[in-house]
Amino acid sequence: MSSVPDRSEIDREYTWDLESIYATDDDWEEAYAAVNDRIEELAAYEGQTTDDAETLLAIFELRNEIMREVSTVAAYARMRRDEDTTNQEYQALTARSQSLAANAQSAASFIEPELQTLTREEFESMTDEQPALDTYDHYVDDVLRMKPHTRSAEVEALLADLSEVTGATGEVYNMLSNADMSFPTVEDSEGDAVEITQSNFTNLLKRPDREFRERVYEGYFDEWAAVRNTVAASYKNSVKADIKTAQARNYDTAREAALDGPNVPVGVYDTLVDSVNDNLDKLHRHAELKREALEVDELRMWDLYMPLTGGEGPDVDYDEATEYVVDAVGPLGEEYQSRVAEGLESRWVDVYENEGKQSGAYSGGTYDTQPFILMNYQDDIASMYTLAHELGHSMHSELTKDEQPYVYSSYEIFVAEVASTVNEALLTNHLLETVDDPAFRKAVLNEFLERVRSTLYRQTLFAEFEHEAHRLEENGEPLTADRLDDLYHGLKESYYEPAHVDERIAREWMRIPHFYRAFYVYQYSTGISAALAIVDGILPDGAGGESDCDAAEDYLEFLRRGSREYPLELLRIAGVDMSTSDPIDRALSTYGDRLDEMAALLE
């Protein structure tokens, strides 16, 4: 019987080094208490933000010190919880750190409303008096830009206090899907019982035994059917919270509020959806190629994850994957490459699935820690690509920290997903250039096609779903489980027209945790579009060609800039203009070309 190991069974070298943050939980408690005591120190400055240049600088510096420590305290607690989401002790630490963060945000909430009483000229005058304030020029520009949507200090403090409550639906969903839900075991072709988990579900749908895939598919989605009303209520209230918060900040829609934060025009969202819908014929062709490759009369939803090669694909163990990824990022320069290698040797990555572990993958860490990557590595090509993806995020953070002060050390998701997907594209080029085995090469080409399908197309489908869900709620239409199922089913039929779209797939929206961070997923689609354009610049002749050092340096400069400019301006540094459909159209054109290559290979 296939089983998921207990965490104690995982070798230490394959776990992340959280002891580098706090050696013990007692050290965490000390850090928690220390920063908690300082929060009132910041709150005491309320009403003084614009008194004089010296006071303003003192407030900025104190807030930075507190928020840096709060973020580290919170990151440690969250990552300890994610090691085993059933662990009550770390659930409690996470809850406490979330309260701490909310209290800190509340204490700091007076700063931006008070800053907005300044004019641009008045801030420049203060900078003349205290030149150290010049560091905050872009930050202040962003604050002043948001003046129409910032409320009084009293209301801002209330909104900060309510952040725990408005975000509670996501926490409820996380506990339900990762800690409380369990999925059935199904029998494989050899008679062995295989346990379905959140982490291995899509991997199981790549098994060549079609009847096994069907049993996995049905067992998994039938489990979601048992909680559909709970999940629908959770998501409905998450949508309501998005809308109410947007209204509190004087926005017409939740989408407008979400995109205005990073200063991305809503036209970028609409252009993405329009461009993808104009190119659904390519996705339909991919589906038809898959039907032919599998030699079935009708493509079913449990067939979608099957590779065009028809098999499970070659095994790639973790150590082998790290070698491929390190070699692949060579075009970005020796320094970038060596830091990736160092990180992999320094326990950045928590590699394997264990009982109760948070599903999926992410890159975490803070300004004052090393990067940390959570994975559920499955010894396959897809997991290798996920490793490259998360290392892209981690290196983005590292390069930003090298060059930027804390105030610009974070970056918007809109640009973050570019850094991760550039690594994926470099990996594809490297593997096609260096691997001779025909089966492996087909698997790599298939992985590229699947990445575009699951990122550019699938995430845009998700973007359409959440936009329409918010629009329905904003128009007073109830978001019941049935209505959400119907909405999702209709989109799935449009995107996968050549396939049979059954009723179980209508529940797929329930398994997407990103929906609890509204209007997030479209950035995966814009990110892969921008990334493919950047790699075209770095490797203008494709796999095997000479890399363009200037284009690589432009890209690295983009990474180093953090959030010192707005997202569209940052991408222009890397040579990409996301205000147009050009990067999306180019990415979809590349997808079409690769479909042609695969079709020829399959013949």
Nearest to 210 by CA among 306, 280, 146: 306
Count CB neighbours of 226 within 10 A. Answer: 9
All domains of the chain in start order, with CATH:
7-166 (1.20.140.70)
| Cβ neighbours of 92 (radius 10 Å) | 12
Q: What is the pLDDT of residues 37-59, one digit of tens each?
A: 999 999 999 999 999 999 999 99
Helices 318-328 and 381-403 sit at what angle, rounded to 10 degrees?
A: 50
Residue 295: per-residue pLDDT: 94
Give the type of residue at 422. V
Q: What is the DSSP string of 510-574?
A: GG-GGGGSTT-THHHHHHHHHHHHHHHHHSTT-TTSPP-HHHHHHHHHHHHTTTSS-HHHHHHHT
In angstroms, the CA 83 to CA 355 distance is 9
Task: Identify which of 115, 110, 116 has the alpha carbon closest to the alpha carbon of residue 154.
Answer: 110
Distances (CA, A) of 367 to 108, 439, 483: 19, 42, 43
The answer for 469, left when phi > 0, alpha when psi is -120 to 50, beta otherwise, is alpha
Strands 372-374 and 349-350: parallel
Residue-wise pLDDT for 173-216, tens only, equals 999 998 899 999 999 989 999 999 988 899 899 899 999 999 99
Cα 580 from chain centroid (whole Å): 23
In angstroms, the Cα distances linking 287 to 293, 450, 458, 543, 590 are 10, 11, 13, 26, 17
Residue 71, both tokens: 């973020």
Q: Which of 69, 83, 112, 390 is catalytic?
A: 390
Q: How many CB atoms lie within 10 A of CB 3?
A: 10
Contact, 414 vs 442, CB < 8 A? no
Question: What local confidence, expressed as pLDDT, does residue 1 receive?
Answer: 42
Give the residue among 279, 219, 324, 235 at the shortest CA–CA distance from 586.
279
Residue with tokens 């890209």: 555
For residues 477-492, one letter each, b for 16 or more C-beta atoms within 10 angstroms of the residue's C-beta and e for the rest, the string is eebebeebbebbbebb
Low-confidence stretches of the chain (pLDDT beneath 50):
1
Active site annotation includes 390:
yes
Q: What is the DSSP string of 95-117?
A: HHHHHHHHHHHHHHTTHHHHHTT
What six digits make up the tokens of 342? 């160092």
The per-residue pLDDT for range 298-320, each reduced to its tens digit, is: 999 999 999 998 766 789 999 99
